Amino acid sequence: MNLTESVRVALRALGANKLRAVLTMLGVIIGVGAVISLMSIGTGVQVQVTDQIKSMGSNLLFVTPGAQSQGGVRTQAGSAPTLTAEDADAIIDSGRVPGVVAVAPESQNGGQIVANGQNAFSRITGVTPDYESVRNFKVADGEFFSREQLEARSLVAVLGATTALNLFGEGDPLGQTMRVNQVNLRVIGVLESKGSGAMGNQDDVVLVPLTTMQARLNRNRTARGGQTVSTIYVQLADESKETSETAVQAIGDLLRERHRVAQDDFTVRSQQDLLASLSQITGMMTLFLGSVAGISLLVGGIGIMNIMLVSVTERTREIGIRKAIGAKRRDILIQFLIEATVVSVLGGAIGILIGGGGSKLLDGLPLGPTPLKTVVSPDAVILAFTVSALIGLFFGVYPAVKASRLNPIEALRYE
């Protein structure tokens, strides 16, 4: 009996007991659908995290303060007031860090904002004009503040899209005055929306000149009297690993020399390192979700084996007749293996359709501040379908072997 004939016989046998065949497939259908749906959620989270990191800018290095110790207790990283705007200037002006295109220091502080009869709390960030290009921000209305306004410590502000909407609604915020921590600022621009995600809401922000921030809103200083910044963004000419590693080493040497410390009081990380770390975490989460869903596939395989054993018992006389007219053990073995595989493959195909449809329904579902994103990857579909076929083949082996070993004389006598 050739393969085509074996498949035809298998489909005819399954068609004789349609309800039982559907119930047998149900475990595989649920398993494959769950694997695809859950893995699409994990992949969607991974894509969101990647997009958020890339939206911060291109070819970036992040220089952040180290941890400080108080009473012998070491606090979290980034808590030590060690970085200054002068450090940022030294990175680009010293000529000691190759491949640097621009630097953008920032100083962050929370602030209560009052404007247009509204009251809101937002992230106040002091930056330089280079921040716009380094961090890949774009102005939707108005303008970004200039170098002259930075040097003059001008009382101006550029609002994120969410902040502008919260304070002014559908009205025009340009030229309006807002009060931030008892300081009046004039709105000169509104940024394009970047959206929110795993890295936070990038639209809920108020950008002011760094000098204004340090003079009026955040006067924190280092131990040596310099005015602190919370992060220095360094943009490189390209994203090659060699350029990044060379720049990280050069920045480390420069800052150790400037701060006169033996142990680093700062941290330098590349965008690629951050992306790799977060991708590894989200990848493990995706694998975990897929593994949990895969348990239902295993249950479905057990159901296939159970039904195939019942089928062997019911068709004992049929097997005896086939052997009596010349069927070999191999023919019987292949026939029952094909039947088990057909059940799992059909179940897998239906499961793919259900899983893909479920993922589409879940995509964009409101989940807290960030809509749920799902991405059905071809790898997940191929993996789920292949595993379902292998499970049918694996759990069909024992019933097929049992059927092929039946004694034809005893099989013909079976009632």
Residues 350-384 have pLDDT tens digits of 999 998 888 888 887 776 667 788 888 888 888 88
Q: How confident is the model at residue 295 (pLDDT cuts 50, 70, 90)?
A: confident
| Residue 407 CA: distances (Å) to CA of 9, 320, 329, 337 | 22, 7, 10, 19
- Of 108 and 198, more confident: 108
Distance CA 10, CA 324 (A): 20
Lowest-pLDDT range, 60-69, 108-117, 166-175, 209-218? 60-69
Q: How confident is the model at residue 35 (pLDDT cuts 50, 70, 90)?
A: confident
Q: How confident is the model at residue 125 (pLDDT cuts 50, 70, 90)?
A: very high
Q: What is the pLDDT of residue 263?
A: 78
Average pLDDT over residues 264-284: 82
Average pLDDT over residues 37-64: 82
Q: What is the pLDDT of residue 413?
A: 62
Lowest-pLDDT range, 127-131, 144-148, 308-312? 308-312
Lowest-pLDDT range, 201-210, 241-250, 255-264? 255-264
Q: What is the pLDDT of residue 103?
A: 92
Q: What is the pLDDT of residue 73?
A: 43
Q: Tokens for 394? A: 């694996």
Rg of the chain over CA atoms, in angstroms? 33
| Residue 328 CA: distances (Å) to CA of 36, 224, 323, 401, 407 | 40, 91, 6, 12, 12
| Residue 124 CA: distances (Å) to CA of 92, 121, 155, 171, 351 | 25, 9, 13, 22, 49
- Of 351 and 16, more confident: 351
Tell me the CA end-to-end span of the chain in Å, nearest whole number: 26
This prediction has a pTM of: 0.70
The helix/strand/coil state of 348 is: helix
Residue 115 has pLDDT above 70, yes or no: yes
pLDDT in tens, 223-249: 565 678 889 999 988 878 888 888 989
Question: Which residues lie across from 62 on neighbouring strands?
Answer: 233, 269
Q: At what angle do helices 18-55 and 329-362 cross, to 10 degrees?
A: 50
Give backbone dihedrals phi and psi of 98, rounded to 5 degrees, phi first: -75, 150
Q: What is the pLDDT of residue 225?
A: 59
The helix/strand/coil state of 185 is: strand
Angle at 131 between CA 130 and CA 135, to 5 degrees: 125
Write out the DSSP string of 104-125: EEEEEEEEEEEETTEEEEEEEE
Percent of the chain with pLDDT over 90: 16
**Domain coordinates in residue numbering, the chain:** 3-53+276-413, 81-264
Question: Which residues lie across from 178 on neighbouring strands?
Answer: 185
Average pLDDT over residues 385-395: 83
Residue 196 has pLDDT above 70, yes or no: no
Q: What is the pLDDT of residue 68?
A: 57
Q: How confident is the model at residue 76 (pLDDT cuts 50, 70, 90)?
A: low
Residue 322 has pLDDT above 70, yes or no: yes
Residue 214 has pLDDT above 90, yes or no: no
